[in-house]
Protein backbone atom coordinates (compact mmCIF):
# COMPACT_ATOMS: atom_id res chain seq x y z
CA UNK A 1 0.00 0.00 0.00
CA UNK A 2 1.02 3.61 -0.52
CA UNK A 3 -0.41 6.79 0.99
CA UNK A 4 1.02 9.11 -1.65
CA UNK A 5 -1.52 10.69 -3.98
CA UNK A 6 -0.51 11.59 -7.49
CA UNK A 7 -1.24 14.24 -10.03
CA UNK A 8 -0.87 13.93 -13.76
CA UNK A 9 1.27 16.62 -15.31
CA UNK A 10 -0.19 18.98 -17.91
CA UNK A 11 0.91 19.03 -20.71
CA UNK A 12 1.20 15.27 -21.22
CA UNK A 13 -0.09 12.34 -23.26
CA UNK A 14 -2.18 9.39 -22.10
CA UNK A 15 -3.69 6.22 -23.55
CA UNK A 16 -6.58 4.39 -21.88
CA UNK A 17 -7.04 0.89 -23.28
CA UNK A 18 -9.64 -1.80 -22.72
CA UNK A 19 -12.75 -3.51 -24.11
CA UNK A 20 -16.21 -1.98 -24.24
CA UNK A 21 -17.77 -1.60 -20.80
CA UNK A 22 -14.56 -2.03 -18.81
CA UNK A 23 -14.59 1.41 -17.19
CA UNK A 24 -12.54 3.62 -19.52
CA UNK A 25 -15.03 6.49 -19.59
CA UNK A 26 -15.56 6.30 -15.84
CA UNK A 27 -11.81 6.59 -15.34
CA UNK A 28 -11.74 9.86 -17.28
CA UNK A 29 -14.75 11.11 -15.32
CA UNK A 30 -12.74 10.57 -12.13
CA UNK A 31 -9.73 12.37 -13.57
CA UNK A 32 -11.91 15.42 -14.15
CA UNK A 33 -14.00 15.18 -10.98
CA UNK A 34 -11.00 14.72 -8.68
CA UNK A 35 -8.93 17.35 -10.50
CA UNK A 36 -6.07 14.93 -11.08
CA UNK A 37 -4.26 17.16 -13.55
CA UNK A 38 -1.75 19.75 -12.39
CA UNK A 39 -2.62 22.43 -13.29
CA UNK A 40 -6.34 21.80 -13.53
CA UNK A 41 -7.31 22.34 -17.20
CA UNK A 42 -9.01 25.60 -18.09
CA UNK A 43 -10.55 24.20 -21.28
CA UNK A 44 -11.79 20.64 -21.85
CA UNK A 45 -12.71 19.29 -25.29
CA UNK A 46 -14.25 15.80 -25.49
CA UNK A 47 -14.36 14.42 -29.03
CA UNK A 48 -16.46 11.26 -29.34
CA UNK A 49 -17.78 8.79 -31.91
CA UNK A 50 -21.03 7.81 -30.17
CA UNK A 51 -22.89 9.75 -27.48
CA UNK A 52 -22.94 8.13 -24.03
CA UNK A 53 -25.32 8.84 -21.11
CA UNK A 54 -22.25 9.30 -18.90
CA UNK A 55 -21.61 12.61 -20.65
CA UNK A 56 -24.62 14.12 -18.88
CA UNK A 57 -23.03 13.35 -15.52
CA UNK A 58 -19.75 14.85 -16.65
CA UNK A 59 -21.48 18.10 -17.62
CA UNK A 60 -22.73 18.41 -14.04
CA UNK A 61 -19.14 18.18 -12.81
CA UNK A 62 -17.76 20.67 -15.33
CA UNK A 63 -20.46 22.68 -17.06
CA UNK A 64 -17.90 24.22 -19.41
CA UNK A 65 -16.82 20.95 -21.05
CA UNK A 66 -17.31 21.09 -24.81
CA UNK A 67 -18.53 17.80 -26.30
CA UNK A 68 -17.80 17.43 -30.00
CA UNK A 69 -19.12 14.69 -32.28
CA UNK A 70 -16.21 13.50 -34.40
CA UNK A 71 -12.82 15.16 -34.67
CA UNK A 72 -13.01 18.63 -36.26
CA UNK A 73 -10.17 19.80 -38.47
CA UNK A 74 -9.78 23.04 -36.51
CA UNK A 75 -9.46 21.44 -33.07
CA UNK A 76 -5.75 22.21 -32.80
CA UNK A 77 -6.37 25.89 -33.53
CA UNK A 78 -8.72 25.98 -30.55
CA UNK A 79 -6.00 24.83 -28.15
CA UNK A 80 -4.75 28.18 -26.85
CA UNK A 81 -1.32 27.68 -25.26
CA UNK A 82 -2.00 30.60 -22.91
CA UNK A 83 -4.49 28.34 -21.12
CA UNK A 84 -4.20 24.77 -19.87
CA UNK A 85 -6.14 22.41 -22.16
CA UNK A 86 -7.45 18.85 -21.95
CA UNK A 87 -8.31 17.08 -25.22
CA UNK A 88 -10.08 13.72 -24.96
CA UNK A 89 -10.32 11.56 -28.08
CA UNK A 90 -12.95 8.94 -27.32
CA UNK A 91 -13.19 5.86 -29.55
CA UNK A 92 -12.16 7.74 -32.69
CA UNK A 93 -9.01 5.76 -33.42
CA UNK A 94 -10.41 4.29 -36.64
CA UNK A 95 -11.31 7.76 -37.90
CA UNK A 96 -8.02 9.54 -37.19
CA UNK A 97 -5.48 6.78 -36.53
CA UNK A 98 -4.07 6.88 -40.06
CA UNK A 99 -3.92 10.67 -40.20
CA UNK A 100 -0.87 12.78 -39.42
CA UNK A 101 -2.72 14.74 -36.75
CA UNK A 102 -2.76 11.93 -34.16
CA UNK A 103 0.99 11.43 -34.34
CA UNK A 104 1.54 15.19 -34.08
CA UNK A 105 -0.71 15.43 -31.04
CA UNK A 106 1.54 12.98 -29.19
CA UNK A 107 4.88 14.24 -30.50
CA UNK A 108 4.57 18.02 -30.86
CA UNK A 109 1.17 19.61 -30.32
CA UNK A 110 0.61 18.49 -26.73
CA UNK A 111 3.69 20.33 -25.50
CA UNK A 112 3.46 23.36 -27.77
CA UNK A 113 -0.25 23.92 -27.11
CA UNK A 114 -0.07 23.31 -23.35
CA UNK A 115 -2.45 20.39 -23.67
CA UNK A 116 -3.02 17.05 -21.98
CA UNK A 117 -4.16 14.54 -24.60
CA UNK A 118 -6.15 11.44 -23.63
CA UNK A 119 -6.71 8.76 -26.25
CA UNK A 120 -9.44 6.26 -25.33
CA UNK A 121 -9.20 3.06 -27.38
CA UNK A 122 -9.88 -0.67 -27.21
CA UNK A 123 -6.52 -2.03 -28.39
CA UNK A 124 -3.13 -1.20 -26.90
CA UNK A 125 -1.43 -1.48 -30.28
CA UNK A 126 -3.96 -0.79 -33.05
CA UNK A 127 -2.68 -1.49 -36.55
CA UNK A 128 -2.55 2.12 -37.66
CA UNK A 129 0.10 4.42 -39.12
CA UNK A 130 0.30 6.59 -36.02
CA UNK A 131 0.72 3.69 -33.60
CA UNK A 132 4.51 3.82 -33.34
CA UNK A 133 4.62 7.56 -32.60
CA UNK A 134 1.75 7.32 -30.12
CA UNK A 135 3.26 4.37 -28.23
CA UNK A 136 6.75 5.87 -28.00
CA UNK A 137 5.48 9.23 -26.77
CA UNK A 138 2.76 8.06 -24.38
CA UNK A 139 3.56 9.27 -20.86
CA UNK A 140 0.64 7.70 -19.01
CA UNK A 141 -0.91 4.35 -19.93
CA UNK A 142 -4.01 2.91 -18.28
CA UNK A 143 -4.69 -0.73 -19.13
CA UNK A 144 -7.87 -2.63 -18.29
CA UNK A 145 -8.15 -6.41 -18.51
CA UNK A 146 -9.00 -7.80 -21.94
CA UNK A 147 -8.90 -11.63 -22.05
CA UNK A 148 -8.95 -11.59 -25.86
CA UNK A 149 -5.79 -9.45 -26.13
CA UNK A 150 -3.20 -11.46 -24.20
CA UNK A 151 -0.68 -11.15 -27.01
CA UNK A 152 -0.83 -7.36 -26.78
CA UNK A 153 -0.17 -7.58 -23.06
CA UNK A 154 2.93 -9.68 -23.64
CA UNK A 155 4.29 -7.11 -26.09
CA UNK A 156 3.54 -4.29 -23.65
CA UNK A 157 5.29 -6.18 -20.84
CA UNK A 158 8.50 -6.36 -22.85
CA UNK A 159 8.21 -2.69 -23.82
CA UNK A 160 7.87 -1.35 -20.28
CA UNK A 161 9.74 -3.98 -18.25
CA UNK A 162 12.36 -5.38 -20.59
CA UNK A 163 13.30 -8.87 -19.46
CA UNK A 164 11.21 -8.76 -16.27
CA UNK A 165 8.00 -9.86 -17.95
CA UNK A 166 7.02 -12.03 -14.98
CA UNK A 167 6.89 -9.00 -12.69
CA UNK A 168 4.66 -7.11 -15.10
CA UNK A 169 2.21 -10.00 -15.43
CA UNK A 170 2.03 -10.40 -11.66
CA UNK A 171 1.41 -6.68 -11.19
CA UNK A 172 -1.22 -6.58 -13.92
CA UNK A 173 -3.04 -9.67 -12.62
CA UNK A 174 -3.13 -8.24 -9.11
CA UNK A 175 -4.21 -4.76 -10.21
CA UNK A 176 -7.04 -6.03 -12.42
CA UNK A 177 -8.62 -8.65 -10.17
CA UNK A 178 -11.83 -6.71 -9.65
CA UNK A 179 -14.29 -5.49 -12.32
CA UNK A 180 -13.42 -2.04 -13.70
CA UNK A 181 -9.91 -2.19 -12.22
CA UNK A 182 -6.74 -1.28 -14.12
CA UNK A 183 -2.96 -0.98 -14.05
CA UNK A 184 -1.67 2.59 -14.25
CA UNK A 185 1.73 2.84 -15.95
CA UNK A 186 3.49 6.16 -15.35
CA UNK A 187 6.29 6.83 -17.84
CA UNK A 188 6.46 10.58 -17.31
CA UNK A 189 10.00 11.89 -16.98
CA UNK A 190 9.28 13.57 -13.64
CA UNK A 191 8.02 10.39 -11.97
CA UNK A 192 10.46 8.32 -9.87
CA UNK A 193 11.00 4.83 -11.27
CA UNK A 194 9.57 3.17 -8.16
CA UNK A 195 6.19 4.77 -8.85
CA UNK A 196 5.94 3.54 -12.43
CA UNK A 197 3.33 0.82 -11.82
CA UNK A 198 0.32 1.70 -9.71
CA UNK A 199 -3.31 0.88 -9.01
CA UNK A 200 -6.15 2.71 -7.25
CA UNK A 201 -4.75 6.15 -7.98
CA UNK A 202 -7.73 8.29 -6.99
CA UNK A 203 -8.26 10.13 -3.68
CA UNK A 204 -9.91 8.01 -1.00
CA UNK A 205 -8.66 4.73 -2.46
CA UNK A 206 -6.00 2.39 -1.06
CA UNK A 207 -3.15 3.32 -3.38
CA UNK A 208 -0.95 0.46 -4.53
CA UNK A 209 2.57 0.63 -5.96
CA UNK A 210 4.19 -2.38 -7.64
CA UNK A 211 7.97 -2.61 -7.35
CA UNK A 212 10.13 -5.41 -8.80
CA UNK A 213 11.74 -7.51 -6.06
CA UNK A 214 15.25 -6.59 -7.19
CA UNK A 215 14.43 -2.88 -6.78
CA UNK A 216 13.18 -3.13 -3.20
CA UNK A 217 15.42 -2.08 -0.35
Q: What pLDDT digit, counting tens, does each position of 11-70 carry?
A: 999 999 999 999 999 999 999 999 999 999 999 999 999 999 999 999 999 999 999 999
Say what the pTM is: 0.94
114 pLDDT above the threshold of 50? yes
Q: Give the torsion sign (CA, 35, 183, 79, 107).
A: positive
Residue 4: band (very low, low, confident or very high) from pLDDT cuts 50, 70, 90:
low
First-residue to last-residue Cα distance in the chain = 16
215 pLDDT above the threshold of 80? no
96 pLDDT above the threshold of 80? yes
Quote the pLDDT of residue 21.
Answer: 94
Residue 97: band (very low, low, confident or very high) from pLDDT cuts 50, 70, 90:
confident
Quote the pLDDT of residue 150.
Answer: 85
Enumerate the domain spans of the chain. Answer: 8-215
| Pairing outcome for strands 37-38 and 66-69 | unpaired
CA distances from 89 to 178, 190, 208 (A): 26, 24, 28
122 pLDDT above the threshold of 60? yes
148 pLDDT above the threshold of 80? no
Please state the rounded mean pLDDT for residues 182-201: 96
Residues 6+ away with beta carbon under 8 Å from 137: 13, 106, 107
Q: Which of 41-45, 99-103, 131-135 has the highest mean pLDDT?
A: 41-45
Q: Which residue has the higher pLDDT, 216 or 139?
A: 139
Count Cβ atoms below 10 Å from residue 209 Cβ, excluding itself: 19
Quote the pLDDT of residue 98.
Answer: 76
Q: Which residue has the higher pLDDT, 163 or 57?
A: 57
CATH hierarchy code of domain 8-215? 3.40.50.300
Amino acid sequence: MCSDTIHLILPSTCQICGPTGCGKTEFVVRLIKDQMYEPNPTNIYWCYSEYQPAYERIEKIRTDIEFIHGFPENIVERLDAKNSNLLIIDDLINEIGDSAILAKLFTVISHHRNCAVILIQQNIFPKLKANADVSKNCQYLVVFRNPRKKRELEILARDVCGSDVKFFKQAFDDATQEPYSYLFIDCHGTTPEEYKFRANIFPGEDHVVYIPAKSKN
